[in-house]
Structure 1
Amino acid sequence: MRFFNRITLQTPESVELEFTLAGIGNRALALLIDYIALGLTLTVFWVAWGIFTVVIIDAFGNARNLGLWLFAIALFLNFTIYMGYFVFFEVLWQGQTPGKRYSKIRVIRDDGRRVGIQQATLRALLRPFDDTLFIGAFLIMLTPKEKRLGDMAAGTVVVQEEYLVATTNFTISEKTQELAKELPQIANLSLLLPDDFATVREYLQRRQEMTTKAKNELSLHLARQIRNIIDLKDLPEGLTPDVFLEAVYIAYQQQTSS
């Protein structure tokens, strides 16, 4: 097995992003933490359900099959909590569960985008199969992209959380500097993921190699996309997409390095 494998993903905008795969160690640690949290949650549920069952049986008497129905409902709720834990956190926390957040790893799609409810649900549905006889662990160790069954079905990959900081290779205008200082107050830069930042960085580094038409179309598309991500509604008039993207690049670097 190779450690710290790198993987290159291509976004729909044809921008290549490079990540470090999470590795079996980080993923095992994350899963252990998640299962401890999930185990505590399920323990509380079963204790509460046991009390509820006693109360119901006392109230309605030992009705025929009542205990079996209550047990069946409990099993269904147990499965829902198990599934919901992973789906809820991976969607809400953009590819992270409490265990993944502690281990600084994240689930992303094969095109570098954040996971949605479909991907998270598929991964959760196949998790029991991956856990059976450690099938998932063996697949992570033996496959080039370190994918378990859930990742293969959902089209996802687990990578290390990397805050990519690089020196600027473009001239920083006064407009860019002013907007970079203003952005943390008018936008939520914490919503910007490392892969979003990497996409902006790749564009800024390679824009000189693009044709004018391709550059204009891609810069406008990226600017709109980033504005939606960081929940930014208003921008000063006359601001070009390039200046906005440069300001995001600088503001994000300053925030993650502070």
Structure 2
Amino acid sequence: MSPSPSSSQPPSPSLFDVHTIETPEQTRLQFQIAGIGSRFLALAIDTLIQIAASVAGLFILSITGSQLFGVFNYIPQQWWTAAIIAFNFVLYYAYFTVFEIVWRGQTPGKRIIGIRVIKESGRPLAPAETIGRNLLRIVDQLPGIYAVGLVAAMLNGQSKRLGDYVAGSIVIRERKQESMWQGLDEIEPPSGALAGHRLSPGHVALIETFAVRRSELPAELRGQMAHQILLKIQAAGEVPPGLSGSPEAMLDELLRAHRASASYL
């Protein structure tokens, strides 16, 4: 997948900047770009969580310190300094990296606010890209309060900080899955509604291409693509009345019925 060219039709007006992707499946996907405000709120929540974790660690250390005091006396002072620096580094940078890898572009703060980091192509970031993106926080936060990152975000239409440029990422606002299904017929299907149903060759190829690639897509992007493909087929009059369910399930049913009518499964 690749971002649509500048000559493509502009997205519909929105309160948020929109990132548009033209996919090989001939569908257009639009993502609302998360603004500086929502990203700052997510960062504030994550920072509070980190502070709470740090306080909890100091509390545990203060409780167990008396038992370990004899051991601590044998540790050189420079080792203590190195250990404290390493702990703070891991707590801050590993926090963002680990959560964004495990939660596919989200930290607790991002999840609460409803935003997510993805590639400009719509795919999730690879672990190496996530690591690089978060290591650039060292530069983005200079000389304090993310001044470099804030200036960079204000100078581009997608609120990108330097780490986003390195990883080729954007931060988007997540939409509820239900909103993707608006405009689809959802009537209870009568018995045998798809018996003998056929699709045009182009639409068969479209669904099959999506079916091959969908396992590597994040849930929201996968749902959007299924919705867009189904709307395209529905506009051509090839979705029989009464078909219902999620867009992806409906595409599976249409393809299954077509193959059965063509005498191959």
Query: Do these two structures clear the TM 0.5 threshold for a shared fold by scoring above it?
Result: yes
1:162 corresponds in structure 2 to 175
Tell me, what secondary structure is at the counterpart of 1:146?
coil
Q: Deviations over 1:49-90 (max 9, x none)?
A: 5666775452364x4x62321331232132122122112222
Q: Which moved more, 1:11-20 or 1:128-137?
A: 11-20
State how far apart, in whole Å, the 2-side matches of 1:201 and 1:130 are: 37
Aligned equivalent of 1:145, options 152, 158, 161: 158
Task: Output the CA distance in 1 between the equivalents of 2:28 and 2:251.
Answer: 24
1:243 to partner: Cα distance: 3.4
Unaligned runs of 5+ in 1: 178-190, 211-222, 228-238, 246-258
Q: Which structure has the larger Rg over C-alpha atoms?
A: 2
Secondary structure of 1:132's match? coil
Q: 1:31: which partner in 2? A: 43
Residues 226, 251 of structure 2: 8 Å contact kept: no
State the alpha-carbon separation in 2 of the partners of residues 176 and 136 from structure 1.
58
Aligned to 2:230: 204
Match of 1:93 in 2: 103
Indicate the larger mover: 141-150 or 116-125: 116-125
The answer (yes or no) to whether the contact 2:36–2:153 under 8 Å persists in 1 is: yes
CA distance in 2, matches of 1:88, 1:34: 13
Residue 243 of structure 1: aligned partner? 254
Question: Does the alignment pair 1:68 with 2:78?
Answer: yes
Q: What TM-score comes out, normalization by structure 2 length?
A: 0.64
Distance 1:112 1:240, change over 3 A: closer
Q: Please give the TM-score of this superposition, normalised by the length of structure 1.
A: 0.65
Residue 195 of structure 1 corresponds to which residue in structure 2?
Answer: 221
Judged with a 3 Å threshold, the aligned counterparts in structure 2 of structure 1 residues 37 and 60 are, in CA distance, closer, same or farther, namely closer
Q: CA deviation at 1:144?
A: 2.1
- Root-mean-square deviation (CA, aligned residues, Å) is 3.7
Do the aligned partners of 1:12 and 1:111 also contact (CA within 8 Å) in 2? Answer: no
Alignment CA distance shift 1:171-1:79 (3 Å): same
Kept in 2, the 8 Å contact 1:22–1:160? The answer is yes
Distance change >3 Å, CA 114–CA 173, structure 1 → 2: farther
Q: Deviations 1:171-194 (Å, cap 9, x if unpaired)?
A: 9855899xxxxxxxxxxxxx9632
- Equivalent pairs, count: 205
- The aligned counterpart of 1:83 is 93
In the alignment, the residues of structure 1 paired with residue 52 and residue 135 of structure 2 have an alpha-carbon distance, to the nearest angstrom, of: 21
> Aligned partners of 2:225, 2:64: CA distance in 1, in Å?
52
Identity %: 30
Structure 2 residues not aligned, in runs of 5+: 1-13, 194-216, 237-246, 257-265
Q: 1:79/1:11 Cα in 2 relative to 1: closer, same or farther (>3 Å)?
A: farther
Tell me the distance in 1 between the aligned counterparts of 2:72 and 2:103.
Answer: 43
Alpha-carbon deviations, 1:10-52, whole Å to 9, x = none? 4465533101111011111111111111111123234445666
Indicate yes or no: 2:24 matched with 1:5.
Answer: no
- Closer, same or farther: CA 52–129 of 1 in aligned 2, 3 Å: farther
8 A contact 1:30–1:103 mirrored in 2: yes
Change (3 A) 1:60 1:197: closer
CA contact (8 A) 1:122 1:150 kept: yes
- AA paired with 1:92? V
Give the equivalent residue in structure 2 for 1:218. Answer: none
- For the structure 1 residues 10 and 172, does the alpha-carbon distance in structure 2 shift closer, same or farther, using more than 3 Å as the test? farther
> What's the offset of the Cα at 1:92?
2.2
**Alpha-carbon distance between aligned partners in 2 of 1:66 and 1:35, rounded to the nearest angstrom:** 31
Change (3 A) 1:29 1:51: same
Give the structure 2 partner of residue 15 of structure 1.
27
